[in-house]
Structure 1
Amino acid sequence: MKPVRIFRHIACEGPGYLGEFLDQRRVPWELVCIDVDHPIPPQVEDVSGLVFLGAAVSVNDDLPWLQGELELIRTAFAAGLPMMGVCFGGQLISKALGGEVSRGEGMEIGWFPLQRANGADDLSWLDGLPQSFDTFHWHADTFSMPPGCQPLLQSRCFRNQAYSINDHIGMQFHLEMTAEMVEAWIDKYGSDLELSSACSQRSEEITVGLDEKITRLHRISDVIYGNWLARVRANGKGG
Structure 2
Amino acid sequence: MSRVTAGKRPRILTVLHQELSSPGRVGHLLVESGFDLDIRRPPLGDPLPDTLAGHAGAVVFGGPMSANDGDEFVKRETEWLAVPLVENRPFLGICLGAQMLANHLGGSVGSRDDGIVEIGWYPLKATEDGKKLMHWPEMVYQFHREGFSLPSDATLLATADHYPNQAFRYGDNAWGIQFHAELTRVMMQRWVVRGAHRFELPGAQPGRDHLGGRMIWDMHLKRWLTEFLATVFGRPEAA
TM-score range, shorter chain: 0.7 to 0.9
8 Å contact kept, 2:108–2:149: yes
Equivalent residue number for residue 45 of structure 1: 53
8 Å contact kept, 1:74–1:97: no
Query: Aligned pair 1:107/2:117, yes or no?
Result: yes
Tell me the SS of whatever aligns to 1:51.
strand
Q: Aligned to 1:171, which of 172, 177, 180?
A: 177
Of 137-146 and 41-50, deviating more is 41-50
8 Å contact kept, 1:115–1:154: yes
Equivalent residue number for residue 151 of structure 2: 146
State how far apart, in whole Å, the 2-side matches of 1:47 and 1:111 are.
33
What letter is aligned with 1:113? P
| TM norm structure 2 | 0.88
Query: Aligned pair 1:218/2:212, yes or no?
Result: no
- For residues 171-210 of structure 1, the aligned pairs below 5 Å read 171-195=177-201, 197-198=202-203, 200-208=204-212, 210=214
State how far apart, in whole Å, the 1-side matches of 2:207 and 2:141 are.
13
Structure 1 unaligned segments of length 5 or more: list them: none
Q: Aligned to 1:66, which of 67, 74, 78?
A: 74
Residue by residue, what CA displacement relative to the aligned partner does 1:107-148 show, whole Å, maximum 9, x if unpaired? 10111110013xx43645x32x15x51111000111111111
State how far apart, in whole Å, the 2-side matches of 1:13 and 1:162 are.
22
| 1:12 CA displacement | 5.0
| 1:71 CA displacement | 2.1
State how far apart, in whole Å, the 2-side matches of 1:192 and 1:79 are.
39
Change (3 A) 1:144 1:31: same
State how far apart, in whole Å, the 2-side matches of 1:65 and 1:22 are.
26
Of 108-117 and 64-73, deviating more is 64-73
State how far apart, in whole Å, the 2-side matches of 1:41 and 1:115 are.
36
Q: When you count strand as a share of all residues, which structure comes out higher?
A: 1
State how far apart, in whole Å, the 1-side matches of 2:111 and 2:152 are.
20
8 Å contact kept, 1:40–1:68: no
8 Å contact kept, 2:121–2:213: no
State how far apart, in whole Å, the 2-side matches of 1:208 and 1:12 are.
25
What letter is aligned with 1:150? T
What letter is aligned with 2:119? I
Tell me the SS of whatever aligns to 2:138.
strand
What letter is aligned with 2:64? A
Structure 2 unaligned segments of length 5 or more: list them: 1-8
| 1:48 CA displacement | 1.2
Equivalent residue number for residue 134 of structure 1: 139
Tell me the SS of whatever aligns to 1:14.
coil
Equivalent residue number for residue 6 of structure 2: none
State how far apart, in whole Å, the 2-side matches of 1:37 and 1:144 are.
29
Identity across aligned pairs (percent)?
24
State how far apart, in whole Å, the 1-side matches of 2:83 and 2:34 are.
27
